[in-house]
């Protein structure tokens, strides 16, 4: 098990970018690519011994670091994140969009509101979480054709929401930072 949490990286202007391992964060520090850092949590990573001095190298890494280089800006922040069942189920709070049952990931499926067989696409705005029974009952029909009603509408999570959905072991300072970038209309539980 990894003793260190994932590190949240930002662009130089503070736009959330991605999660990296402590090893990747050490690379950024060692290459002098960290523009600035924030967060209440810091971790000291000890390296090997220097043969000449006998001293152990160490890097102190913060839980949130901004990486030098080209700013990502709004273009990257508003980019559509990749669709994955794990994040979809988290987005929908493990709640079936048709019957309202809250279930474990193993008992849930990805349902295409407009079925692929009818021209629907596999995108965030066309998928919801459904239990196996409701998905089978709906089959290759739209909710209207199957006389089933959606309990909530699908939406595309923004970058901050997606980063929250991707990492279930977020430190408090990281969550506080990301929460400031989550729209008030979000269904993400903060």
- pLDDT higher than threshold 80 for residue 76: no
CA distance 60 to 170: 19
pTM: 0.76
CA distance 93 to 96: 9
The pLDDT value recorded for residue 73 is 54
Q: What is the mean pLDDT of residues 146-170?
A: 92
CB within 8 A of 43, min separation 6: which ones? Answer: 4, 22, 60, 61, 63
CA distance 123 to 107: 21
Average pLDDT over the chain, rounded to an integer? 90
Positions of CATH 1.10.30.50 in the chain: 85-138
The pLDDT value recorded for residue 81 is 86
Overall CATH class of domain 85-138? mainly alpha
């Amino acid at each position: 098990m990894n003793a260190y949490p994932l590190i949240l990286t930002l662009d130089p202007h503070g736009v959330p970018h991605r999660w990296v391992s402590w090893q990747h964060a050490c690379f950024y520090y060692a290459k002098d690519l960290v523009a600035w850092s924030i967060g209440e949590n810091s971790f000291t990573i000890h390296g090997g011994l220097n043969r000449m001095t006998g001293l152990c190298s160490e890097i102190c890494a913060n839980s949130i670091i901004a990486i030098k280089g080209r700013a990502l800006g709004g273009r990257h922040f508003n980019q559509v994140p990749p669709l994955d069942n794990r994040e979809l189920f988290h987005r929908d709070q493990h709640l079936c969009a048709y019957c309202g049952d809250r279930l474990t990931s193993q008992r849930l499926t990805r349902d295409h509101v407009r079925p692929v067989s009818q021209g629907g696409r596999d995108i965030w705005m066309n998928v919801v979480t459904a239990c196996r029974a409701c998905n089978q009952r709906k089959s290759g029909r739209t909710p209207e054709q199957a006389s089933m009603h959606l309990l909530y509408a699908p939406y595309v999570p923004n970058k901050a929401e997606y980063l929250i959905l991707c990492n279930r072991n977020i430190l408090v300072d990281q969550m506080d930072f990301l929460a400031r970038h989550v729209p008030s209309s979000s269904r993400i539980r903060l």
